[in-house]
Amino acid sequence: METTGRTEQERSADRRRRELLEAADRVVLRDGPGASMNAIAAEAGITKPILYRHFGDKGGLYRALAVRHTDALLDALRAALDAPAERRERVEATLDTYLAAIEANPQVYRFLMHPAEGASQGEAGFDVGLHSAPLLRRLGEELAKVIEERVDLGPESAELARVWGHGIVGMMHAAGDWWLGERPCSRAQLVRSLADLLWGRLAAAGDRVGGPGF
């Protein structure tokens, strides 16, 4: 007799995968880019071949962790963008949400954005651009959707929203990366300065008629 939905074996595999990702998270929080497959396997109480069976290699594990953390960040960014507040306040809240996330978990950030820093001799290093670019592109596309839905940018709205989405994400990433390394000012000061930079045409653009506003 056939059963509908997911099998118990599939559900068990998903649970095991989540447990392994949680173990990897603990190691990344401790070791940052230096997190190794050996250390992650030891944390999970398994052998490295079993870890490879689930993720293939460190690149596969990296991608799984990237999705996990990007999903959480996107949820937080959407909440900030949709908060009941004036547009300037929501822009500042969105910038602050991103910066607060990388400040709270700098080791995770470094593992995701600067993985080559901790590569050991036994494991191949990462091309930072190859691995971090998909994360930034995903954030840019998601932000573009939000901008297009909430701001009336005229006949070229979709194209301009994508330009702005990727541009804003690039700005947040570059400024945040620099700030996290040097701490030249407070997070609040950086948020205000970046919001001032954005506060040109975005402030002047009208909201879409009948839309939620931005």
Find the CATH number of the domain harbouring 175. Answer: 1.10.357.10
DSSP string, 78-102: HHHHTSSS-HHHHHHHHHHHHHHHH
Name the domain count of the chain.
Answer: 1
Q: What is the pLDDT of residues 77-126, one digit of tens each?
A: 889 988 888 989 999 999 999 999 999 999 999 888 886 665 554 454 44
- Identify the three-state secondary structure at position 126: coil
pTM of the model: 0.79
Query: Would 7 be classed as within a structural domain?
Result: no
**Which residue segment(s) compose the domain that 183 sits in?**
67-204
Query: Would 126 be classed as within a structural domain?
Result: yes
Give the chain's radius of gyration (CA, Å).
20
Residue 118, both tokens: 């901790």
Query: Would 56 be classed as within a structural domain?
Result: no
**Number of other CB atoms surrounding residue 53 within 10 Å:** 10
Q: What is the pLDDT of residues 7-62, one digit of tens each?
A: 888 888 888 889 999 999 999 999 988 888 999 999 999 999 999 888 888 888 88
Residue that has been written with the tokens 């990462």 in this structure: 126
Q: Which of 67, 84, 85 is nearest to 75 (CA)?
A: 67
Query: Would 197 be classed as within a structural domain?
Result: yes
String of b and e for 167-201 (b: at least 16 CB within 10 Å)? Answer: ebbeebbebbeebbeeeeeebeebbeebbeebeee
